[in-house]
C-alpha cells in the first residue's frame, strides 16, 4: 500500500511569491492534515480536511490556505511568501473518523529567499 506522497520535495521561492504544495493520502483515507515544522516553533498544525471540508484550523494567517478534492488529494497554498515561511511542510492522512492514527509523508522543504 503506497504511503502519503508529497510533491514537490524541495523548492526555493522568492519573497512575495506564492507556492502550492500537493499531498496524496494513503488509498482509502479521507482525512488529510497539514503541519508546518520549523526549528524554533516545532510542529504546528495548519488545518485538517475531511471529505473536502475543512474540519479544523490552526493559528496561521489567511495567507495559508488549503483545499481537498473529491479523490481526497489535498493542496495547500501560501501566498505572499515571507522569509519566516521557510519550513518543512508535512502532510498526514488517516482513516478518521474510523481510525485515529495519522501517517505522514516525507514533507516538502520550502526555502524562501
Partner 1 sequence: AQKVTQAQTEISVVEKEDVTLDCVYETRDTTYYLFWYKQPPSGELVFLIRRNSFDEQNEISGRYSWNFQKSTSSFNFTITASQVVDSAVYFCAGLYNFNKFYFGSGTKLNVKP
Instruction: By CB under 8 A, name the binding residues for partner 1.
Output: 33, 35, 42-43, 45, 48, 56, 88, 90, 92, 96-97, 100-107, 109
- Taking the least distance from each CB to partner 1, the nearer of 14 and 100 is 100
Reference 30, options 76, 77, 89, 70; nearest CA is: 70
Q: Which C-beta is closer to partner 1: that of 72 or that of 93?
A: 93
Instruction: Compute the least distance from the CB of residue 43 to partner 1, in Å.
Output: 4
- Residue in this structure with the C-alpha cell 524554533, named with its chain if needed: 40
**10-13 and 108-112: which strand pairing?**
parallel
Rounded CA-CA distance 5/50 in Å is 17
**Cα–Cα distance, 39 to 68 (Å, whole number):** 28
Residue 31: strand pairing partners: 50, 94
Smaller CB separation from partner 1, 60 or 109: 109
Pick the closer one to partner 1 by CB: 11 or 79.
11
Compute the least distance from the CB of residue 80 to partner 1, in Å: 25
Whole-number minimum distance, CB 89 to partner 1, in Å? 10
Amino acid at each position: 500500500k503506497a504511503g502519503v506522497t508529497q510533491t514537490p520535495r524541495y523548492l526555493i521561492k522568492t519573497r512575495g511569491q506564492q507556492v502550492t504544495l500537493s499531498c496524496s493520502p494513503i488509498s482509502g483515507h479521507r482525512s488529510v492534515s497539514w503541519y508546518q515544522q520549523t526549528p524554533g516553533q516545532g510542529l504546528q498544525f495548519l488545518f485538517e480536511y475531511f471529505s473536502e471540508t475543512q474540519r479544523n484550523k490552526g493559528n496561521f494567517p489567511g495567507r495559508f490556505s488549503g483545499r481537498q478534492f473529491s479523490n481526497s488529494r489535498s493542496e495547500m497554498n501560501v501566498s505572499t511568501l515571507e522569509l519566516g515561511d521557510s519550513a518543512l511542510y508535512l502532510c498526514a492522512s488517516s482513516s478518521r473518523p474510523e481510525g485515529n492514527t495519522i501517517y505522514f509523508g516525507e514533507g516538502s522543504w520550502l526555502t524562501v529567499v
